[in-house]
Chains A and B, each alone.
Chain A
Amino acid sequence: MKINNALQNQKGSALIEVLAAMGILLFAIIGMMISISYANYKSTLNYHYRVALLRAEAELQVIKLQHSSYGTFGNLGTQEFTIRSHSNAKPIKATIFFDVLTVNDPQTTLKTSYTKITARVRWQETPPMFSLYVSPNDYKEVVVREDYFYERVQ
């Protein structure tokens, strides 16, 4: 009886029902577009992190060579380089900074000191397409560190 009634129903849909259905569909489509944009952003960011990490590691390797050959850490001045995701992508300017800090910590040991060499790669990322707020100081950073231990002169 119910089925028969439903088949005979000639009422159709009201404008508000159609608009609501369209709204739900639009919401789903926008959600999917945002997720694609975000996944793309994360993939590119991941690539930039890897490039920066390899660059920082490379610099630490050169410092290690300098140290084992001459006993110095060589040139630790700030350097600039370019990160490019792919051949058509806009190049991103990255900067690598070095910090040198010698630690004499009597609480740890009286005989050993060490020098901390820190390489810090910093760059500014292009924000994802649908981001609501973009901070001008939103820098990404990769930090790697190597310690050089030596006997402290008493």
Chain B
Amino acid sequence: MINNQKGFTLTELIAGVALTTLLFAGFIMFLLQFYGNFKEIAEYNTLQHELLETIEALRYGYVKQGVNDNESIIGLLTANNVNIASNNKSVTITPIVVKAGERHWASYSLSAKGEIILNAVYGIKNINGEVIFPKSKEVIDKNLKYKITEFQIRNISPFISDKISLVSIVIEGQVRFRPKQSGQNKVEDERLNTKSARFETKVYISNYDN
């Protein structure tokens, strides 16, 4: 057996190499697909998480580590006065207790690029153009990878009053996994290359009549 010097014929070699290449190519493609799928799931989770964080910032206020740790920027829950822009894409919130001569307000609005931007004044300090959604600045097809596709803040107060007592928040975001492929129409592009998440809630402004 050890002295057998027969080897392989050319046909056997070609068939063997072709089959091995095919097997490896299939396995590598499967591995790439597997990695891509996991990445999509992780990115979709990030979208959900950041959208929820944005809703919570609107509800409770915004704190940025190292910037306003001890001075919270107000949210809807403890607001006294809420002003909603006529296009329902921006809200300005003011609290009850304000020291004489000090200004306190926070404004959350949707930018043209699909970000949620915070501008706020708290006492003698302010915060301008803070992007609270998205955390990532990654761009795909000249658009943000994570972007807001719908942001609606509405006054749904059951009473006729000059002050808002109940608001509804609708926020919908989209993550783009890859650029639009040639030959894909808008529907196919959204179905194959993006994923969306939509959250809705309501907030009672308990200090509205103070």
A: which residues have CB within 8 A of B?
5, 8-11, 25, 29, 32, 36, 39-40, 43, 46-47, 50-51, 54-55, 57-59, 61-62, 64-65, 68-69, 84-88
Contacts and interface: CB of A to CB of B under 8 A. Distances in A.
A152 B190 CA distance: 58
A51 B172 CA distance: 12
Contact of B1 (A11, A46, A65): A11
16 contacts: A8-B3, A9-B2, A10-B7, A25-B27, A32-B30, A36-B41, A40-B37, A43-B44, A46-B45, A51-B200, A54-B52, A54-B200, A57-B201, A58-B200, A62-B204, A65-B158
User: Considering the complex of A and B, which 8 residue pairs feature the smallest CB-CB distances, nearest first?
Assistant: A58-B202, A54-B201, A61-B204, A65-B204, A58-B201, A10-B4, A61-B202, A86-B196
> Would you call the interface of chain A mostly helix, strand, loop, or mixed?
helix
A13 to B, nearest CB: 11
A62 B1 contact: no
B165 to A, nearest CB: 6
A84 B197 CA distance: 9
A55 B200 contact: yes
Given A36-B38, A68-B206, A88-B191, A5 B2 contact: yes
Contacts of B117: none
B2 A64 contact: no
A19 to B, nearest CB: 14
A15 B52 CA distance: 55
A62 B206 contact: no
A65 B165 CA distance: 8
Contact of B166 (A62, A84, A85): A62
B145 to A, nearest CB: 16
- In this complex, the interface size class of chain B, counting residues with CB under 8 Å from chain A, is 35 or more
Contacts of B38: 36, 39
Contacts of A10: 1, 4-7
A58 B76 CA distance: 13
A46 B200 contact: no
A65 B2 CA distance: 90
Interface in B20-59: 27, 30, 34, 37-38, 41, 44-45, 48, 52, 55
Contacts of B200: 51, 54-55, 58
A56 to B, nearest CB: 9
B196 A61 contact: no
Given A47-B48, A51-B199, A86-B197, A65 B34 contact: no
Given A40-B41, A61-B202, A87-B196, A54 B55 contact: yes
